[in-house]
A and B are shown apart, each in its own frame.
Chain A
Amino acid sequence: MSGLSFQDTVFALKKYWSDRGCIIQEPYDVEVGAGTMAPETFLRVLGPQPYRVAYVQPSRRPADGRYGENPNRLYKHQQLQVILKPSPADVIDQYLGSLKAIGIDLSKHDIKFEEDNWEAPTLGAWGIGWQVMLDGLEITQFTYFQQCGGFDLELVPAELTYGLERIVAFLQNVDSVYDIEWTAGVRYSEVRLIEEQQFSKYNFELADVAMLWKLFDLHEAECQRLLKGAEVVLPAYDQVLKCSHIFNLLDARGAISVTERVGVIGRVRRLALGVAQMWHRLSACEEAVA
């Protein structure tokens, strides 16, 4: 087996970014579809305070599940998310340095930055950037955030999102993510295959649609209640994440028609924007007090 193990890759990247002033956070413990949705990104990029953070974020996309049978598609994959706010002038050099840190000899590979702007309508967020291609494989999404929660950002953060399974499969030269060596003598499939199988079955076949709609309504109502009076943002944001994940489940279950989709996305978006506004308001107050 050539190349770093899965967990050694994670260690190396965390160490690399820790050395560059990042807080190393643990994954957020509410289901999210992408590392961007974790409050460490979504809320921290707002406002004028500089922030640097890196964390692994398991990202759940129920519709991408393949019962563990597709070598490249997963219901849950791991992203390593880095936020550098504001982005330093040498951010690309720092990024290339991180590839060296996980054993990629750039003199023997081809690296390209191809236009790929990012947009998340449910979060009122968009940015300008690239997909980073290594020998034709997209290994990282690189984004300069411009807007989040409908706000123009005061400091422009660089967001680096590494697709860990892809990168490690590349490093280890294996065709299936399930053949990745997680750590010496343990393959990815031994750690995660059963989870992919069971959740694919649940997401596509078993999840109770009526119950999911009910949960969606409950979490939505709770979020709205918190947005109205209580001055707590983070609990309100958790409710947004719940709604978003339930939406994804309903989608995987085929329970949302394309026509309905727009409406449901709009409901999640309104909540997310409400949270962003509240966060903005509260942090502005904090500043005024300080």
Chain B
Amino acid sequence: MSLAFLLEIGTEEIPDWMIVPALNNLQDMFQGLLDQHALGGKVASTAATPRRLVLRAKGLVERQLDTEELVLGPPKSVGAGAAAGFAKKMGTTPDQLKTETTAKGEYFAFTKRTQGQATAAILARELPNLILKIQWPKTMYWNGKGSERFIRPIRWLVALLGDAVVPFEIGGVHSGDTTNGHRLLGKPSILVTIEDFEHQLKSNGVILSADQRRDKIETEIAGLLAGRALKVKPDPDLLHTLVYITEFPTAILGGFDSQYLELPQEVLVTVMRHHQKYFSVEDANGNLAPNFIAVMNTIADPDGLVRHGNERVLRARFNDARFFWQVDQKKPLAARVEDLKNVTFQAKVGSYFQKTERVIELVKQLGGDKHAQRAALLCKSDLTTDMVKEFTDLQGIVGGLYAKAQNEPNEVWRAIYEHYKPLSMDGPIPSTREGLLVAFADKWDTLTSCFKVGLIPTGSKDPFALRRAAQGLVRIIVEGKLQHHIVICDEQLREFLRDRIEYYFRDVRGFAYDEVRACMATYAGNLIQLEGCLLWLQQVRQTPDFEPLAASFKRIKNILKQAEYKDGGTYREDLFEPGPESDLYQEMRRTNGQPLESRIAALRPKVDLFFDKVLVNAPDPNIRRNRLALLQSLLTEFSDVADFSEIVTER
């Protein structure tokens, strides 16, 4: 008979962004447990709300199968004493031993039978450890120093195998068959079975399925806006957050006084999104509407109190923002540059004032015009404004908006506004040349000056977000088409950047990893050329002659390596043997200067024939050396573009 299994870890509210990775981790570990102990069964599903992680499995056996194992003992020739020792070790008597004949002779042997354990017993023993091994970014203890750690205190545990409780204990909490409903909508201590678990939760104010919670939010938002000529500003990240900070989400529509629409849209959206977790709402033309959507963790707002409360909070937040906007304007950005002397960029590197000076210099070197240089001068001064101190996410954006309000030219304020871009792997890069140059210089300076003082990311530790800076840098150059060579003296930074370049072309742009390695082999600092190489290689790879030739190149490389050939490609024409060897040489000369694609097509059959008929490792050392030289020069002629031997082929 196969059994179903249910595990619910009841906790206090888990941070929303940690839930999905933890569930996946739990699923993997539990499946591993089933497999390791041969309990049969598969994890059927996982689900979570902020207060519970749930795992369901099915097809578990009731107990492990009994196993038999034949254990060989000492050779029969050693006699009775050794047999007695072996029998004792096996927990039996000598008369129970058998004789087993092997190629080496006769041996004492014993058939050891192990009785399978009950699945419930194994789970009871293993689950506490497994649960406490779930990986979290930051854990806590709650039962006193040295006690178990988890993301938040564990308050109840449901563990059912079929109809029976799997008994175990974590930190004084005993597993059982009772769960708890929503804090306000449900009852505590609800008796459940595997079959009625989700239904019981539902009638106690908990929608267990994240998909159902998401659907509920989306459907309700659509309902709230229906017939109003309004649409919600899509925000998948916020939606995900709301799905995982609620057990019973319900959307409500609120409004604010349209006088606040005078404030920049960016500020309003940031206040709503980051501080209040509201969706913004737009009219048909894409302009911000004086409305917002909040998602409650309860069933209804019968008296409108929740809406009223949220509107009140938002009003206070907007008032603050308006106050900052007005106060900050009293001192223009240009007058704030000097204040950057008191703002530390990084303790070992110096102030933002010094950073600004370096960025201006770099922008000049990159050929930035007066607008670009002006933007470089002003780009960090918004760090001294109250608005940025309050809404740090708006750094750069606020600077750009203030620059605009202070009548800086379009090119200048736009460059400031966009100079932190790209903010993510798929976010946009700055849209103007001035913006690209300032963004480039800012990130370049961050990287070089941090590496210079040894602030180098290790493993998962990257407190100054240098990976993001490097990734942004790569995208700015490639996608912004900046024809600048990158020359890096610091070896660690060079390696670090190579990693990011490979990552970008491979994981973001989708080039095959061997293509990236082939082209990186010839990369010398010009990313636009590198991109060209990859695009070319991707195309030429489709042609029928390419992969066979690439395979031959790999062979050539191996031959040269084995022969420890280091003499360059100087060969003597008169030593070439007529036939395939001479033909290959003639074809190389004939096609010299032709586009690589046609050389590949022309040379491929010659190379194949060469390897087919010619023995590189000729008995005469002169001939041998000459052939190696021919191969080396063939390799060299092609290696200017890419290292084709990196291409993975089937041959």
A→B interface (CB under 8 Å): 70-73, 86-87, 89, 92, 96, 106-115, 117, 128, 130, 134-137, 144, 146, 152-156, 170, 173, 175, 257-259, 262
Contact = CB atoms under 8 A, between A and B. Distances in A.
Given A110-B297, A136-B310, A153 B15 contact: no
B183 interface: yes
B50 A135 contact: no
B183 A111 contact: yes
Contact of B303 (A72, A108, A170, A258): A108
B411 interface: no
B313 interface: yes
Nearest to B173: A89
Q: List the 3 closest A-B pairs by CB distance, nearest first.
A: A135-B309, A115-B15, A110-B296
A35 B419 CA distance: 41
Nearest to A151: B145
B342 interface: yes
Given A259-B351, A262-B344, 14 more contacts: A108-B301, A109-B306, A110-B309, A111-B297, A115-B15, A117-B138, A128-B138, A135-B308, A153-B145, A154-B144, A156-B141, A156-B143, A170-B309, A258-B342
B433 interface: no
B12 A92 contact: yes
B interface residue count range (under 10 / 10 to 19 / 20 to 34 / 35 or more):
35 or more
Contacts of B142: 87, 144, 156
Contacts of B246: 112
A112 B13 CA distance: 9
B621 to A, nearest CB: 70
Contacts of A111: 183-184, 297-298
B316 A128 contact: no
A136 B309 contact: yes
Contacts of A72: 316, 319-320
A170 B305 CA distance: 11
A128 B140 contact: yes
B140 A146 contact: yes
Interface in B588-621: none
Contacts of A92: 12, 183
Contact of B323 (A70, A136, A137, A258): A70
Contacts of B320: 70, 72-73
Contact of B314 (A112, A136, A173, A257): A136
A156 B144 contact: yes
A109 B155 contact: no
A96 B301 CA distance: 19
B316 A113 contact: no
Nearest to B151: A128
Given A89-B155, A155-B144, A259-B351, A96 B183 contact: yes
A240 B263 CA distance: 43
B471 to A, nearest CB: 27
Nearest to A136: B310
Contacts of B344: 258-259, 262
B309 A109 contact: yes
24 contacts: A86-B143, A106-B184, A107-B184, A108-B301, A108-B305, A110-B296, A113-B12, A115-B13, A115-B15, A128-B152, A130-B13, A135-B305, A135-B306, A136-B294, A136-B309, A137-B312, A137-B313, A146-B141, A152-B145, A155-B144, A156-B142, A258-B343, A259-B344, A262-B347
Nearest to A134: B309
Contacts of A134: 309
B144 A86 contact: yes
B276 interface: yes
Interface in B387-430: none
Contacts of A73: 320
Contacts of B42: none
Nearest to A130: B13
Interface in B303-334: 303, 305-306, 308-310, 312-316, 319-320, 323
A109 B315 CA distance: 19
Contacts of B310: 135-136
B302 A112 contact: no
A219 B178 CA distance: 57
Contact of A110 (B15, B145, B298): B298
B392 to A, nearest CB: 14
A96 B185 CA distance: 13
Nearest to B315: A175
B378 interface: no
B316 A71 contact: yes
Contacts of B447: none
Contacts of B276: 136
A189 B500 CA distance: 58
A110 B347 contact: no
A61 B12 CA distance: 32
Contacts of B192: none
B629 interface: no
Contacts of B12: 92, 113
Contacts of B297: 110-112
Contacts of B15: 115
B245 interface: yes
A257 B384 CA distance: 12
B342 A71 contact: no
A69 to B, nearest CB: 9
A112 B140 contact: no
A171 B313 CA distance: 13
Of listed B246, B301, B313, residue having the most chain A CB within 10 A = B313
Contacts of A173: 308, 312
Interface in B548-600: none
A109 to B, nearest CB: 6
B182 to A, nearest CB: 11
Given A71-B316, A71-B319, A114-B245, A109 B16 contact: no
A106 to B, nearest CB: 5
Contacts of B351: 259
Contacts of A135: 305-306, 308-310, 313
A89 to B, nearest CB: 7
A59 to B, nearest CB: 19
A268 to B, nearest CB: 18
B216 to A, nearest CB: 15
Contacts of B315: 175
A215 B294 CA distance: 49
A246 to B, nearest CB: 20
Contacts of B184: 106-107, 111
Interface string B230-266: 0000000000000001100000000000000000000
B314 A259 contact: no
A92 B135 CA distance: 25
Contacts of B302: 108
B316 A259 contact: no
A109 B50 contact: no
A26 to B, nearest CB: 30
Nearest to B350: A259
Contacts of B143: 86, 156
A35 B351 CA distance: 34
A156 to B, nearest CB: 5
Nearest to B155: A89
A198 to B, nearest CB: 21
A259 B15 CA distance: 34
Contacts of B141: 146, 156
Of listed A71, A108, A110, A130, residue having the most chain B CB within 10 A = A110
Contacts of A96: 183
Nearest to B252: A110
B309 A137 contact: yes
Contacts of B343: 258
A110 B310 CA distance: 10
Contacts of A114: 13, 245
Interface string B187-222: 000000000000000000000000000000000000
Contact of A259 (B153, B313, B342): B342
Nearest to A92: B12
A110 B152 contact: no
Contacts of B294: 136
